[in-house]
A and B are shown apart, each in its own frame.
Chain A
Amino acid sequence: MKQLLSIFILFALLGYGDFSFAETAVPVPPAANKGDTAWMIVATVLVILMVIPGLALFYGGMVRAKNMLSMLMQVFVIFSMMAILWAIYGYSIAFTEGNAFFGGLSKMFLKGITPDSLAATFSKAVYVPEYIYVAFQLTFAAITPALIIGAFAERVKFSAVLLFMFLWFTFSYLPMAHMVWYWTGPDAYTDASAAEAATATAGFLFQKGALDFAGGTVVHINAGIAGLIGCLMIGKRIGYRKESLAPHSVTMTMIGASLLWVGWFGFNVGSNLEANGLAALVFVNTLLASAAATLAWVGAEWLLRGKPSMLGGASGAVAGLVAITPACGWSGPMGAILLGLVAGAVCFWSVSMLKGALGYDDSLDAFGVHGVGGIIGALGTGIVASPSLGGTGVWDYVAGGVAEYSMIGQITSQAWGVGVCIIWSATVSFIAYKIVDMLIGLRVSEEVERAGLDVSEHGETAYHI
């Protein structure tokens, strides 16, 4: 009897189970999309390629031969140091909920992240593994401080560079990344009140509506301003405008710029987090803006200085890449060309005329290209994102469509981003340089500067010919 009863119960359960399966699907736990995951792994590798060896060679070629290794070494070690800091506390401060300026410490040491942890994308119910999101964002955190060294190349102590980068990363990069990029993800945007509640937990500039697709503000303006403050406080190189400080190998610089260009497809397209149609648009925008800026820089140079130079071509490509970075997910292809043309011409003006007129020695134009190009891109995003100019407009996750676009409103939001970034980065940089100068001194002695940083600071020579 007891046996019969249990068989009956078993049948009933099976029957009920079958029945319920047919009626309402058992909810599938959310999982990462394999295609998106594969793309993000590739994109992360591409951004690493931008830094080592891309940026290192781009900068290295522009210094004198006696300082070649110092550039390579600074980029190489900054990259490694930022990677570790990112895992210890950087990711947590940038990408967990906290206040509008700093995130929390709940994911310090990457606590609680497992292979099953998911990170939100820009589509509802689409995810990528959190580990690859951590790694992708790590590469951004690593390249940004490395960009700054171009401003004070050839005259700063290696130890001073590392200490400054630790301070600047902690108090400028992390809060800027949190302010611009931190949000809960699109799933929370179910209705107007839920959206409002979700947005209230996001970063300060996210709440202001500032758009920065891949880091025009967080990466380029942020680094450019830190560079400008640096070269103003550290002073000019010995022999500036008196002796020849010409690049020792424009060939290396061309190789570096080309690696930056290729890697930038990981930087910009990867920032889409999904391998979809929008990613393809970002790709096209990135390609066209850099090509347009190359032509604009070289053209301006040819017209005003008589000769088109390879260094100009390489610089133009980078200026275009910088300028399209914030806009690449919202601009149309023609908007990207426009942005590239403007960035190429204006950055040429800033490094060849503005710098001379103001008299600061931004050795490799970290401010002239990244700062100026970043500002053009950030403000220009407000223009080229407009659907009336072929842009995509801004997506409204509650309505499930493109929101009504106000160009004045968007440019105002963009100006908030630019303004906050300039003031924040300048303040943090100023204090950080002061601290480093007091503790270990920023600048090498005149003797060391004359001999070159390679042999004095690193005990080796780049070329034995």
Chain B
Amino acid sequence: MKLITAVVKPFKLDDVREALSDIGVSGVTVTEVKGFGRQKGHTELYRGAEYVVDFLPKAKIEVAVADTMLDQAVEAITKAANTGKIGDGKIFVTDLEQVVRIRTGETGEEAL
């Protein structure tokens, strides 16, 4: 199993959710986050005082998938979140050792 962590533009969140649903992913976790990458922040000016806003708001999506689903899921997220402009975000993939469905106690891929 793999854990996909995707950081995307907040307004692309709905598109990503739909794309994942379409390929049969049944659940995701979303967090509002801030960060920086190659996309630079912007400056705000208040009565002449200039503040550089380095950390831009992004949406972080966490999805656990079976190994066989990985490529399809990564592709779906990449397509859905792409605008072609700087700041589209990144996708991180890590190994996932165990998953437990709390209600039933099921484990592994059955719990996904």
Seen from chain A, the residues whose Cβ lies within 8 Å of a Cβ on chain B are 62, 241, 244-247, 305, 307, 309, 311-312, 315, 351-353, 355-356, 365, 368
Contact = CB atoms under 8 A, between A and B. Distances in A.
18 contacts: A62-B46, A241-B49, A244-B51, A244-B53, A245-B49, A246-B44, A246-B49, A305-B45, A305-B48, A309-B45, A312-B47, A315-B47, A351-B48, A352-B47, A352-B48, A355-B48, A356-B48, A356-B49
Contacts of A307: 45
A245 B50 CA distance: 10
Interface in B35-72: 44-49, 51, 53
Contacts of B45: 305, 307, 309
Contacts of A246: 44, 46, 49, 51
Interface of B: 44-49, 51, 53
A311 B45 CA distance: 9
A368 B49 CA distance: 14
A359 to B, nearest CB: 12
A353 B44 CA distance: 16
Contacts of A365: 47
Contacts of B53: 244
B32 to A, nearest CB: 13
Contacts of A312: 47
B48 A311 contact: no
Nearest to B54: A244
A321 to B, nearest CB: 17
Contacts of A247: 46
Nearest first, the 8 closest Cβ-Cβ pairs linking A and B are: A352-B48, A244-B51, A351-B47, A246-B51, A246-B46, A311-B46, A305-B45, A247-B46
A241 B46 CA distance: 12
Nearest to A364: B47
A376 B44 CA distance: 29
A315 B44 CA distance: 16
A352 B48 CA distance: 4
